[in-house]
Amino acid sequence: MNRICFQVQLMADNILQYADSIASPVQRIKGAVIAPSTMPVTFWSIEDVPWLHGKGTMIHGTQQLTCHAPLLAGMNLACELSLLAVEHKNGRGGLLTLYTLSLVCYHRGSLIAEAETVLIGRGEMI
């Protein structure tokens, strides 16, 4: 299974907590709290992602984000996370496994955010 679909309910408290964790000022539109543009890359950690289950600590290698509209508190997002590639490379500290993930999120049928992220783990992690 290389794709999972899940829902994310954007709550003001979660947005404020995330904004605080990255030292981002909170912004609002007509009183609604706006999520920082990087927040979608945390959504994959909400679900139990089968291809990452039990893989240990990982770090972000690269990430690209595209927001098509502001992410506002109160939105219910339909998200799809896909595993695009698994690659092995030799690093200075040994074997590395790179996972390329794609995340797309929709609100009321409209594409609202896209992210492509490379996560890096140590060792053989298949």
By residue range, what is the domain housing residue 71? 3-122
CA atoms within 13 A on the CB side of 46: 19
Mapping DSSP to helix (H, G, I), strand (E, B) and coil, where does residue 39 land? Answer: helix
Q: Tens digit of pLDDT for each residue in 73-89?
A: 999 999 999 999 999 99
In this prediction, residue 56 carries a pLDDT of 74
Going by pLDDT thresholds of 50, 70 and 90, the confidence category of residue 5 is very high
Q: In which residue are the tokens 């698994």 written?
A: 86
Q: Tens digit of pLDDT for each residue in 32-56?
A: 999 999 999 888 777 778 887 676 7
Q: Tens digit of pLDDT for each residue in 64-73?
A: 999 999 999 9
- Specify the number of domains making up the chain: 1
The pTM of the full predicted model, rounded to 2 decimals, is 0.85
In this prediction, residue 124 carries a pLDDT of 62
- The CATH number linked to 68 is 3.10.129.10
**Closest-CA residue to 72 (of 125, 17, 112):** 112
Q: Using CB atoms within 10 A of its CB, is residue 101 exposed (0-12), middle (13-18) or buried (19+)?
A: buried
Q: In which residue are the tokens 């907590």 written?
A: 17
